[in-house]
Amino acid sequence: MKTVWSYCRPYKISAAIALFFMIAELVVELVQPLLMAKIINNGIMVKNLEVVAIWGGIILALSLLGFLSGIMNTYYASHVSQSFGADIRKNVFEKVQSFSYAQFSLFAAGSLMTRLTNDVQQLQNTMFMGLRIMARAPLLIFGGLIMAFIVHPSLAVYLAVVVPCLFLFLVFFMGKGGRMFKVVQEKLDEVNNVMGENLAGMKLIRAFLRKSHEVSRFEDASEQLRKKTASVLQFMEISMPALLFLMNAATICILWFGNQEITVGTANVGEVVAVVNYATRITGSLSVLSFIIMAFSRSRASAARLNEVLNAPEEMEDHEDTFKIEAMRGDICFENVSFRYVGQSFSALDHVSFSLKAGCTMAILGSTGSGKSTLVNMIPRLYDPSEGRITIDGIDLREYDQRMLRRQIGLVPQEPLLFTGSVVENIRWGKRNASKEEVVKACKDAQIYETVMKLPQQMDTKIGQKGVNLSGGQRQRLSIARALVRKPRILLFDDSTSALDVKTEMELLQALKAYRGTKLIVTQKISTAIHADLIMLLQDGKKAAIGTHQELMESSALYREIIQSQGGERRSVYVEKANK
């Protein structure tokens, strides 16, 4: 199992350099109070200016060294943390791209977004802090204690009692805080989710006058995030007064007893000042330490969330020895195929079998929810069967190289999604190197050419986000053109002609005849189905009937019923003839 932390491996050397400079800075900081003690005792107290000047100079030089070390450390620490974060982002993003469609639906889009931005940021910050101050705080605390003992053991005892207690207190406290941050991160997910859904469904929200409902939904999520964040921060804040109280108490003890020791002559002023100096530094470090522990437990939550994505099983990985076919005939065969969505109690497809010869057309009829889209989406392997198998040219889909397989398929999904860009870019999305002629041909066959020619910049007209400036039918036809330009061996239309008027639809079906591929056409309309070589009726995921129009007229009561409900056979046939 690969964890996010393993992404710092390429930056080992830079990290080591950063740590080196951190320690240099630390050493400078630790010897300073010792030198100060020297200046006070051997210089100021005995009025020896030369000693003051020499040691003062040394302190200045050391400070400069510490300052430079700090700069170098920051440089390397930011290099490591930024590169580390960028690598994680890239890998998580690539991993999401490699998800099967089924896996993708397991993560909410908003949550993936938070993970890619906020969680990565969290790790980046922790990594930076880690290299900048992580080891500094504990070392300074520990080193400060030792130095205080070296300077004056009996005064240092007060520190030795208070500091370990505070240390344990902080570890416990901040660990709990970190766990609270996990909830904060989840609330942030929710806010992102609400926002994402809202932006995607803006049109619907306006149409249904749901604006105020959406606003209150957002406020709800946002308020919960605020509350949780505030309560964690408040919880964290309690630690600071406790820390300061105890440390100040220790300092007062040192001053009090230090004063007595000076009077008896067992300590001098320089020593007391030095120990107090160490106490102050330790106090500072303890509060830094509390932040570090908090950041660490917080980033532990983030790391877990990123690991979840990075280590999601790759269910659809190709075998080693996949079939790398260049061209397929296109015989499609479903053998007892069942499929159940994750978390559903029923099967969306239930033991469906059929076979379709290459170049033939099959229409799939069925009410909404009968499993038509599911069936179609299984051919490019957006989902794999839970039971049974699907073959093309007699070979199980799972045996094919996925890229090769998908290259042979042109899918027009039920929801025609266009991308931001021009018309021609959207069509070339189907085939990157399609020539101008191919694009024009695809547009003509998809019955969208004339419409495109009427657009302000014709083929180069930009279509807005999700193609808002095109009608539903126009979008459908553009996504059909996108599939046709591939000249695929298998064409899948998932209710892709629903928004077309009868005449345009007939022209489209006519044009499709020139495409040699095997065609699966999902439709609600008998008039569309009648043309197919084979018609399958789906009902609740089961194959209710299959055959030609004539056969079904004779054998299937359900088929006759559908025909009746759509105006009878004569009307359908009439429509068919009228459009020939």
Residues that bind ligand ADP in the complex, under the rule CB under 6 A: 105, 341, 344, 348, 366, 368-374
Residue 286 Cβ vs ligand ADP, minimum distance, rounded to whole Å = 51
Q: Which amino acid is present at 120?
A: V
**CB nearer ligand ADP, residue 277 or residue 374:** 374
**CB nearer ligand ADP, residue 41 or residue 105:** 105
Say how far apart CA 298 and CA 285 lie, in whole Å: 19
Residue 492 Cβ vs Mg ion, minimum distance, rounded to whole Å = 12
Contact indicator for 133, 293 with CB cutoff of 8 Å: no
Q: Which residues contact 86 (CB under 8 A, 6 or more apart)?
A: none
Of the candidate residues 192, 251, 285, 373, the single one contacting Mg ion (CB under 5 A): 373
Query: Which position has the token pair 């003051």?
Result: 52
Contact indicator for 423, 478 with CB cutoff of 8 Å: yes
Q: Which amino acid is present at 209?
A: L
Q: Which residues contact 427 (CB under 8 A, 6 or more apart)?
A: 434, 439, 442, 443, 478, 481, 482, 485
Q: Which does 234 bind (CB under 5 to 8 A by kind): Mg ion, ligand ADP, none?
A: none
Residue 236 Cβ vs ligand ADP, minimum distance, rounded to whole Å = 40
* Three-state DSSP state, 79: helix
Residue 376 Cβ vs Mg ion, minimum distance, rounded to whole Å = 8
Q: Which does 105 bind (CB under 5 to 8 A by kind): ligand ADP, Mg ion, none?
A: ligand ADP
**Structure tokens belonging to residue 412:** 């027009």
Which residue's Cβ lies closest to Mg ion? 373
**CB nearer Mg ion, residue 73 or residue 373:** 373
Max alpha carbon distance in the chain (Å)? 120
Q: Which does 369 bind (CB under 5 to 8 A by kind): Mg ion, ligand ADP, none?
A: ligand ADP
Q: Which does 497 bind (CB under 5 to 8 A by kind): ligand ADP, Mg ion, none?
A: none
Other beta carbons within 10 Å of 72: 17
Stretch that binds Mg ion, among 252-260, 319-327, 356-364, 372-380 (CB under 5 A): 372-380
Q: Which does 550 bind (CB under 5 to 8 A by kind): Mg ion, ligand ADP, none?
A: none
**CB nearer Mg ion, residue 141 or residue 409:** 409
**CB nearer Mg ion, residue 85 or residue 413:** 413
Helices and strands (H and E) in the chain: how many: 21, 12
**CB nearer Mg ion, residue 373 or residue 476:** 373
Residue 533 Cβ vs ligand ADP, minimum distance, rounded to whole Å = 21
Stretch that binds Mg ion, among 285-293, 336-344, 370-378, 553-561 (CB under 5 A): 370-378
Residues 395-424 that bind Mg ion (CB under 5 A): 414
CA 140 to chain CA mean position, Å? 38
Residue 383 Cβ vs ligand ADP, minimum distance, rounded to whole Å = 9
Residue 531 Cβ vs ligand ADP, minimum distance, rounded to whole Å = 20
Answer yes or no whether residue 290 interacts with Mg ion by CB under 5 A: no
Q: Which does 212 bind (CB under 5 to 8 A by kind): Mg ion, ligand ADP, none?
A: none
Q: Which does 337 bind (CB under 5 to 8 A by kind): ligand ADP, Mg ion, none?
A: none
Residue 190 Cβ vs ligand ADP, minimum distance, rounded to whole Å = 20
- How deeply is 198 buried, as exposed, middle or buried, from its count of CB atoms within 10 A (0-12, 13-18, 19+)? middle
Q: Which residues contact 514 (CB under 8 A, 6 or more apart)?
A: 445
Query: Which position has the token pair 């009692």?
Result: 161
Q: Which does 371 bind (CB under 5 to 8 A by kind): Mg ion, ligand ADP, none?
A: ligand ADP
Residue 196 Cβ vs ligand ADP, minimum distance, rounded to whole Å = 17
Q: Which does 344 bind (CB under 5 to 8 A by kind): ligand ADP, Mg ion, none?
A: ligand ADP
Say how far apart CA 263 and CA 506 lie, in whole Å: 109
Contact indicator for 131, 22 with CB cutoff of 8 Å: yes
Number of shown-chain residues binding Mg ion (CB under 5 A): 2
Q: Which residues contact 187 (CB under 8 A, 6 or more apart)?
A: 221, 224, 225, 228, 229
Task: Locate all alpha helices (DSSP H) within 379-435, ordered by sequence.
Answer: 402-407, 423-428
Say how far apart CA 449 and CA 373 lie, in whole Å: 27
* Three-state DSSP state, 266: coil
**CB nearer ligand ADP, residue 255 or residue 316:** 316
Q: Compute the half-sphere exposure of residue 454: CA atoms within 13 Å on the CB side of its CA.
A: 6
**CB nearer ligand ADP, residue 370 or residue 408:** 370
**CB nearer ligand ADP, residue 153 or residue 369:** 369
Q: Which amino acid is present at 497?
A: T
**CB nearer Mg ion, residue 487 or residue 525:** 525
The contact set with Mg ion (CB under 5 A) reads 373, 414
